[in-house]
A and B are shown apart, each in its own frame.
Chain A
Amino acid sequence: KAGVTQTPRYLIKTRGQQVTLSCSPISGHRSVSWYQQTPGQGLQFLFEYFSETQRNKGNFPGRFSGRQFSNSRSEMNVSTLELGDSALYLCASSLEGVNSPLHFGNGTRLTVT
């Protein structure tokens, strides 16, 4: 069974630009979550999608958004990039249910210059 796939692996953008990251969950997983990982703040929850609906959102500004498609694939978008947005963005998928742990992809490394 293929794992969570994230594309691209690396991105370099300049301040003010926008970026779109893509995530394909494990087959059969309908919940997709996004996390930001930085050395200073660690892993922080961005948002979660289920059945094309955003169910939950973390404490990030509105520049961070996402969506989920009918095949459960998800994208996240960051607009008006800032230097502080440089991070590893991780996507995780899970089955529905309380005993269904998150499985992570290898992430997209975003560098903003």
Chain B
Amino acid sequence: GQQLNQSPQSMFIQEGEDVSMNCTSSSIFNTWLWYKQDPGEGPVLLIALYKAGELTSNGRLTAQFGITRKDSFLNISASIPSDVGIYFCAGQFPDSGGSNYKLTFGKGTLLTVNP
């Protein structure tokens, strides 16, 4: 089945630093999504990417959909304490009927920001 390799598993950085994390897969995806999960809550969608090569920003966050459709990265600039959490990448490939139900998730990157 499809699997995503997300790295790094964890990061410990100082406030103000930039952060980069990525996901790779042996399978292609039509959509890449990045979510953030805080303790005790569900994943919250940060950025959605729909086209190979697409570069999209959401405030201090920037994500790209790899040209090969097998990878994506997420950058966070000028990190702040509230960026702490677990970041997940997810790939989506609709079934033959066009249903977009199923996400394949990476294992997550635990980000800790030291004030």
Q: Which residues of A contact B (CB under 8 A)?
A: 4, 6, 31, 33, 35, 42-43, 45, 48, 50, 55-56, 58, 90, 92, 94, 96-107, 109
Contact partner of B100 (CB less than 8 A), chosen from A6, A42, A100, is: A100
Interface string of B78-102 (1 = CB under 8 A from A): 0000000000101010110111111
Contact B50 A56 (CB under 8 A): no
- Residues of chain B touching chain A, judged by Cβ–Cβ distance below 8 Å, are 30-31, 33, 35, 40-45, 48, 50, 88, 90, 92, 94-95, 97-103, 105-108
| Among A56, A90, A109, contact of B95 (Cβ-Cβ < 8 Å) | A56
Contacting residues, chain B, for A104 (C-beta < 8 A):
35, 42-45
A33–B88 contact, CB under 8 A? no
Smallest CB separation, B96 vs chain A (Å): 11
Looking at chain A's contact residues, the main secondary structure is strand
If A4-B42, A104-B43 touch, whether A33 touches B101 (CB-CB below 8 Å) is: yes
User: Are A99 and B50 interface neighbours, CB within 8 A?
Assistant: yes
A residues less than 8 Å from B102 (CB atoms) = 33, 45, 48, 56, 58
B44: chain A residues at CB < 8 Å are 104
> Other than the known A97-B100, A102-B45, what 12 A-B pairs have Cβ atoms closer than 8 Å?
A43-B88, A43-B103, A48-B99, A56-B101, A56-B102, A90-B42, A96-B98, A98-B30, A98-B31, A98-B98, A101-B92, A103-B45
